[in-house]
Structure 1
Amino acid sequence: MPIDRNKILRYKILNGCLQDMSRQYRIGDLLDCVNRELERYDLKPVSRRTIQLDLQTLQMEPYNVEFDSVLRESNCYRYADTSFSLELLQLTPKDRDALTRTIEVLRERYSDPDEQNPQWQWMLTTLQSIADDRPLESAEPYVSFENNEAYSGNVNFATLLESIINRHPVEIRYKSFVQETAEDKKIHPYYLKQYNSRWFLFAAVEGKDEIWNFALDRILRVRQWKHSYSPPQVDFSEYFSDMIGVSRNADMPVEQIMLKVSNRRYPYVETKPFSEKQRIVQHDGETHTVAFPMRVNNELVQKLLSFGDDIEVLQPQHLRQRMATIVEEMTKRYSPAQKDCVGR
């Protein structure tokens, strides 16, 4: 059953009225006060019956409100003890200040997410509503994001994010898929990036110069490391600008990628380009040829393969050959001869 989020707002308004020593409130007065506040938030007004039910509910567990018995004889409402206040779920000034600072840090850290990223836009809008004490009108979801609740890397996400924000070095125990045993690494965490429903931590390893990335689902343990923090020497918005995914090695230069895309699939490439620097080289009645600078990594190859025969790699030659080799191996696996062999 959906939670009536507006009920908390109504109780908060009633709480203020019932503490007010300067006037006496009848049911009609309370109704006017509540609906006036609801209108400020563009919420629907409530009925007299709703206010009556609210007042009855407030006299029960867990609120246990007692009204002034003398005023009740004249159909007015006020707390018997005017120092009483409902213990509603609300932010203290200290909590609100902390939440506001968190929002400011997130906005600065993630390069204006209000304009660039729907997930950040939704999250910050919700947090800002809470900080501003604005009600959330509906319990029904408005937005759905890709999420894997069974993903084991979720366990360490909050700890690592807090370490990044607070600039705290950590020690992790890490075991990649190709390692037989885990190893401990002292790191300076910088950045968290999600790709293909998995999270990756980008950090500097103590004593190493380059940036490393660690899959969160391969981090077995995280501990605080009492050591001075080494801030990042790279701009991560630039770091990811010429690559897809998370894989990047020192021997992986930026190259000019040229692709021939079928007109049938080109609208997908046009509206969701491989790169911000993607440009059209030429087009005819059947294809569009596009070019862009990019580092060739496994993620790029996987994305190209996802287009099937709607994309042909023209340049660079080593990438074209790599694609051809993969296609040849796939052809062998799905050839009639291979099928006959499996069936015997």
Structure 2
Amino acid sequence: MPNTKHAIIRYQALDKCFRNKSKRYFINDLVNVCQSAIENFTGNAEGVQKRQLYDDIAFMMSENGYNAPIEKDKMGRKVYYYYSDVNFSINNQPLTESEALELKETLITLNRFKGLPQFEWIESMTTRLEASFQFGTEANQIIEFDQNEFLKGKEYIKELYHAITNKTPLNITYKSFASNSNMVFELHPYYLKQYNNRWFVFGKNPNFDNITNLALDRIQDIQQANTPFITTNIDFKEYFEDIIGVTFNNQLSPSKIVLRIDESLWPYIETKPLHGSQKVVNKTNAFTDIMLELIPNYELEALILQHGEKIQVLQPIELKDKIYSRVEQLIKKYNCAE
């Protein structure tokens, strides 16, 4: 049985070689072609052994594989491989049982992307494949993703996505939680981001120096603006490296934040770090101290408060005082309720 890692990539590469009647492919040629195909697909150079390809060829010829009509002829002391049937291709054959299972599992995962603009093809493709291969719908009953199907604003993702890719400025009618009336923002959109099951669009509003972010569930309408698009050089992957969530304060720089984690909570924080910069600076049987390097914001405060008494802020003093003040207000509300 062939090594399954990158097997499909190798089968496809071999299939192209065996169908090519204008060139003879010897085993060393096949090794080079498969290595190039894997590197082009994954970005990583990975050695392919001759023994691996002999196993691949045997599998492709077998009933469990593709029943491929692979022939080999000698040229001097070397052997080259080809299809005896010029019209044969593994892509014209029915799926094997193992391929059908892999496809089924892939479709389950892809279903979580339904509704996103770059994945519009998924719903129709899933329906056709389920009908063609009789996958049925029972697969969807064994896995669930943390996604809010009733979230408002998802209908704007497609329009915003295309506005970003086509560099189209927009006039966005927006109603914030703090206002009862609508506002119209001119926005030159750059980036879409999901956080805590809500979607946000980031872009340039000419009236402000900093990047503006708008929650999609507060958008009321979107219209194209008749103005030249303002471009940006911001790398948004780096833009979010120094924060948790989506609230960014350009006036602040990343600072060292030290948190004391109760030992009962530590296994969860260890396996799911609060931030990529998380480092352990002290550990005892009762607690673990970690250090984060990021810009404090509302989302960080919410994350700390979410864990209640299990997390204590040690530094900076400004963040410690802010958390203390919020806890104090919470206690007052509970006392008033009595």
Aligned ranges 1:1-344 → 2 under 5 Å:
37-39=94-96, 42-43=99-100, 135-136=129-130, 137-139=135-137, 140-141=139-140, 143-335=143-335, 338-340=336-338
Amino acid aligned to 2:274: F
Task: Return closer, same or farther for 1:154/1:127 CA change in 2, 3 Å cut-off.
Answer: closer
Structure 1 unaligned regions, length at least 5 = 1-34, 45-113
Task: Return closer, same or farther for 1:330/1:222 CA change in 2, 3 Å cut-off.
Answer: same
CA contact under 8 A between 1:129 and 1:135: conserved in structure 2? no
**1:127: Cα distance to partner?**
5.9
**1:192: Cα distance to partner?**
1.1
Amino acid aligned to 2:246: V
**1:151: Cα distance to partner?**
2.3
Q: Secondary structure at the match of 1:192?
A: strand
Q: Distance in 2 between matches of 1:129 and 1:198?
A: 22
Q: Secondary structure at the match of 2:199?
A: strand
Q: Distance in 1 between matches of 2:198 and 2:162?
A: 19
Q: Distance in 2 between matches of 1:130 and 1:149?
A: 18
Q: Distance in 2 between matches of 1:193 and 1:128?
A: 21
Q: Which has the larger radius of gyration?
A: 1
Identical aligned pairs, as a percentage?
Answer: 32
Task: Return closer, same or farther for 1:138/1:241 CA change in 2, 3 Å cut-off.
Answer: farther
Task: Return closer, same or farther for 1:40/1:145 CA change in 2, 3 Å cut-off.
Answer: closer
1:1-30 CA-partner distances (Å, limit 9, x unpaired):
xxxxxxxxxxxxxxxxxxxxxxxxxxxxxx
Q: Secondary structure at the match of 1:334?
A: helix
Tell me the residue number matched to 1:13.
none
CA contact under 8 A between 2:252 and 2:295: conserved in structure 1? yes
Q: Which moved more, 1:240-249 or 1:140-149?
A: 140-149
Amino acid aligned to 2:162: E
Amino acid aligned to 1:242: D
CA contact under 8 A between 1:151 and 1:217: conserved in structure 2? yes
Tell me the residue number matched to 1:78.
none
Amino acid aligned to 2:169: P
Q: Secondary structure at the match of 2:150?
A: coil
Q: Distance in 2 between matches of 1:182 and 1:193?
A: 23
TM-score normalised per structure 2? 0.60
Q: Distance in 1 between matches of 2:242 and 2:136?
A: 41
**1:125: Cα distance to partner?**
9.7
1:140-198 CA-partner distances (Å, limit 9, x unpaired):
32642223233221232221112112222111112212234322222111111112221
CA contact under 8 A between 1:41 and 1:135: conserved in structure 2? no
Task: Return closer, same or farther for 1:149/1:334 CA change in 2, 3 Å cut-off.
Answer: same
Task: Return closer, same or farther for 1:332/1:38 CA change in 2, 3 Å cut-off.
Answer: same
Q: Which has the higher contact order (CA 8 A, sep 6+)?
A: 1
CA contact under 8 A between 2:313 and 2:319: conserved in structure 1? yes
1:256-306 CA-partner distances (Å, limit 9, x unpaired):
110010111011111111221111101011110000111111111011001
CA contact under 8 A between 1:175 and 1:220: conserved in structure 2? yes
Q: Distance in 1 between matches of 2:166 and 2:120?
A: 23
Amino acid aligned to 2:155: V
Q: Distance in 2 between matches of 1:128 and 1:173?
A: 30
Structure 2 unaligned regions, length at least 5 = 1-91, 102-108
**1:199: Cα distance to partner?**
1.1
Amino acid aligned to 1:256: K
Q: Distance in 1 between matches of 2:169 and 2:198?
A: 22
Q: Distance in 2 between matches of 1:36 and 1:276?
A: 46
CA contact under 8 A between 2:111 and 2:122: conserved in structure 1? no
CA contact under 8 A between 2:262 and 2:287: conserved in structure 1? yes
How many residues align? The count is 231
**1:339: Cα distance to partner?**
4.5
